Amino acid sequence: MPIERGVVPRSSGLDVAFPAQERSLADVISTNSVVDSARGGDLFSFQALVERYQSPLYRFLYRLVADAELARDLTIDTFLLAHKKLNRVDKSIRFEAWLYRLGSGVAMSALRRQHLAELLLRRKRTMRLSPEDDLEAQTVQATLCLLPINALIPMLLRSLGGFSYEEIAQILHISQRDVGERIRQGRAFFRQHSQLLPRPSEPAANDDPACAAIEPLLSAYLDHQLPGTDQAVVNARLATCSTCRAILADYQEIDRRLARLRTRGAVTPLAYEVTRILRGEKPVRAKPAAHSRRALLAGLMVIALVGLVGASILVASGAGRRGAPSGTGLLYVALQNSEGQVAVVDVAGARLVATIPIGARALRLAADRDGNHVYALGDDGILSVIDVAQNAVADRYLIGGRPGGMAISPDGKRLFVTLADRRTLMVFDTDSGRQTADIRVGRTPREVAVTPDGQWIYVFNAGDSTVSKIRSNSKQESKILRLIKVGDQITEFAAHPMAATPDGRKLYVADLTRERMWSVDVGTDDVQSFDVPLRDLGRDIVVAPAGDRLYVTHGDPRGARAALAGLASMALPAVERTAEIRGYFYGVTTSPDGSTLYASSPDDNAVIFADAQTLQTQATVQVGQRPSSIIYLARSK
């Protein structure tokens, strides 16, 4: 049924699809008393908790993993974990919210155990649909499968769990502001890619700056999360702007579609099975219900639909420009915009040839030696694999945790990713996409670098100002050989880029928070400190192919120090400045022969080409909003 696209002022009582569910004091007291009895060892009380929460928890997990059988197993695992941790229940939040926190963690752990699980692509290819889902529910699920994970979980907690922003923030250990932003991103993504939204008279795009300012507020407006002043501004805008009304109407329809999933997807009773496991008896696994012919056909249709939706996402920004350009090389540039994109620049023609959406802000980029794939590490813990020939995302893998840095081995066979919140360096085989090692490093690992011979891996640990040195070989990664101290305690969340010399003898580490740089002798582990008179040193560094100089971007784009920002050339081994370009630059790389520098300029939304000796600008290419990390990919003519 088409939705109403009229004015929806707040005073009219806008229907909110996902209000926080009202719970009486009697319900809270009842749940707390049952939890207290279960904590005291009453298995029947715990069984009552399973019976109460098994269906909503299962539906949440099913929509998260898109696999009915896996969701059932994860639901059981969550209740088993809850029983084990009953004495450690977080009493600052409701039991139900605590249970969903456990369920989210169990699901993410299960996906990580599947070795670089293709969270988005895997669910698209191998969705095991519930026979309870009709075609509409399956189509909604298809769109959910394409949502970035950091937006998907808050949306599910809001839509299926009925949790408030405050409770979602407690469940996920994030701020309420982040909750609102992630839900907004999820709704915007869903609105752009869902095939279900009625569009009988979609208003034309509105370039009015006032409309652009109001659009980010509409999601919070729908959830009654705006302060009074902003609410009044939105109300006034809705009365005059048809585009804003259309967006809000779509958000309402999205909420209605998701709300219907609350009753879709039943699970066979689990209380008896959970109780048997807790008693040490052999569990009786229920056989999954056979899909009817109609459900099977619907499943095939929705998988085909997901493929079409996914294809539209992957090629939307590159339509008419696909295929790698001829020339000597390509630049891949991460754009820090809300869409999460990677720009592709043809070096020979000094022109933008493609913009590839990846769904999240790319923190780091890396390319394999053969020039077939580029890897983009997103801030949502998703690793996107870009097919260079098609200029499109070919695979998406779940990394999980809070990613820090990424590097690839010289032979292109292994990918190294740090998790800043887990003191972990993950090692992946790029051919199989499987994790081969999980190495514990120092506190808050950030950057990672590999020596040109591939023998050593270095990880900078911002939390304790150390560098972990790890021996690498073709079979597996060994334990850390030593932890090298490189200065005093520094800011954990600042950048600390590293670069090795082409001969593999030295590793240079820049400290963004001080005017200092360190060199680490790869053979002896000796550390030498250099005072470098550059403020806010080290957004990015790269060593020239000849090994005679180092290029470093520096400077804070804000406040009085903005005029001091620039790109500097430093002679090695003395680390002395020889030339500099003024301006705010972020990423920097060189051509293979070392004759040309390429640097991203967030202020100008451009990449500059500069002579590597004189730093004179040769060309400027507009690439999109806030370019950051940049890599050069050599291509044969």
Q: Is 351 left (phi over 0), alpha (psi -120 to 50) or beta?
A: beta
Decide if 228 is inside a domain: yes
Q: What is the mean pLDDT of residues 600-610?
A: 92
pLDDT (0 to 100) of residue 26: 42
Verify that 116 and 180 share a domain, yes or no: no
Verify that 69 and 108 share a domain, yes or no: yes
pLDDT (0 to 100) of residue 296: 34
Verify that 433 and 477 share a domain, yes or no: yes
> Using CA atoms, how far apart are residues 192 and 197, in angstroms rounded to an integer?
9
Using one digit for the tens of pLDDT, what is the confidence trace for 487-496?
554 444 455 7
Contact 553, 573 (CB under 8 A): no
Owning domain of residue 274: 23-130+266-288
Verify that 433 and 508 share a domain, yes or no: yes
pLDDT (0 to 100) of residue 207: 55
Question: For residues 402 and 202, which has the higher predicted lDDT (pLDDT)?
Answer: 402
> Using CA atoms, how far apart are residues 223 and 211, in angstroms rounded to an integer?
19
Verify that 271 and 258 share a domain, yes or no: no
Contact 220, 185 (CB under 8 A): no
Q: Which of 143-147, 285-289, 449-453, 535-539 has the lowest mean pLDDT?
A: 285-289
> Using CA atoms, how far apart are residues 59 and 163, in angstroms rounded to an integer?
14
Decide if 226 is inside a domain: yes
Verify that 30 and 121 share a domain, yes or no: yes
Decide if 101 is inside a domain: yes
Verify that 122 and 270 share a domain, yes or no: yes
Verify that 114 and 149 share a domain, yes or no: no
Question: Where residue 383 falls among pLDDT bands split at 50, 70, 90?
Answer: confident
Verify that 105 and 202 share a domain, yes or no: no
Verify that 444 and 471 share a domain, yes or no: yes
Q: CATH number for the domain including 505?
A: 2.130.10.10
The 3-class SS string of 154-214 reads HHHHHHCCCCCHHHHHHHHCCCHHHHHHHHHHHHHHHHHHCCCCCCCCCCCCCCCHHHHHH
pLDDT (0 to 100) of residue 608: 94
Phi and psi dihedrals of 443, rounded to 5?
Answer: -80, 135
Q: CATH number for the domain including 74?
A: 1.10.1740.10
Verify that 180 and 304 share a domain, yes or no: yes
Decide if 621 is inside a domain: no
The count of domains in the chain is 3
Question: Where residue 404 falls among pLDDT bands split at 50, 70, 90?
Answer: confident
Verify that 433 and 519 share a domain, yes or no: yes
